[in-house]
Amino acid sequence: MALHAQLKKQLRQEALARRDALDAIWRVEASLTMAEAASAIDIEPGMVVSGFWPMRSEVDVRPLMFALREKGARLCLPAILDKTTIVFRELVRGAPLIDMGFGTAGPGEEADVLEPALMLMPLAAFDARGHRIGYGAGYYDRAIDRLHRRNLTPRLIGIAFDCQLVPEVPNQDHDVQLEEILTESGLRGFPLAL
């Protein structure tokens, strides 16, 4: 277990170092290119889509979120409630955003809490099987588990740059496999392990 955690930590650090080394202007252009993938993402009118407010050198997923809103999606952003729990609060045009920590912003407590049918997920690293390494706090794994226990199965799309690909993510039974990942190279799917 300790070896597993140490390997994940090393892969996370290496992938984030590669991402941090990307030119800032290039990252903006790549994020805009990724927004064009909205045409390949099926959205039913009113479908709830969770995105995230970018921090540090992450993909700026906001152009993609707004393109999905133009297709009829209701948007939400994660809000950290405590050291183990996030909820997804509705993002409404013109509503005030508050500091969510980690350099991010999101809707305040007055915003409706929604259950996403599609989750755009940040990550530190991913492999060619669709396994991801998050930032280590497990917020998304627990949020997805809560949805699954309520018989809800959101579509999971990881958002990253190609440079965050690693040879293999050491995974455990509780780790959530992505169905798809979107990078500057496009949207690709993964066969889900049974």
- List of domains in the chain: 2-189 (3.40.50.10420)
Task: Determine the pLDDT at residue 136.
Answer: 77
Separation of alpha carbons 167 and 165, rounded Å: 7
Q: Are strands 113-114 and 104-107 parallel, antiparallel or unpaired?
A: unpaired
**Residue 6, Cβ neighbours under 10 Å: how many?**
11
Task: Determine the pLDDT at residue 69.
Answer: 95
* pLDDT values of the chain reduced to their tens digit, one per residue, 194 residues: 577 789 999 999 999 999 999 999 999 999 999 999 888 899 999 999 999 999 899 999 999 999 999 999 999 999 988 888 889 999 998 888 888 777 778 898 999 999 999 999 999 999 999 999 998 778 888 899 999 999 999 999 999 999 999 999 988 776 778 999 999 999 999 876 54
> Residues with Cβ < 8 Å from 26, sequence gap 6 or more?
none
Task: Determine the pLDDT at residue 62.
Answer: 95
Task: Determine the pLDDT at residue 138.
Answer: 83
Task: Determine the pLDDT at residue 193.
Answer: 59
- To which H or E segment does residue 191 belong? none
CB 34 within 8 A of CB 161: no
Separation of alpha carbons 163 and 116, rounded Å: 28
Q: Which pTM was predicted?
A: 0.92
| Terminal Cα distance for the chain, rounded | 23
Task: Determine the pLDDT at residue 192.
Answer: 66
**Residue 92, Cβ neighbours under 10 Å: how many?**
13
Task: Determine the pLDDT at residue 194.
Answer: 47
Q: Which amino acid, one-letter code, is at 173? A: D
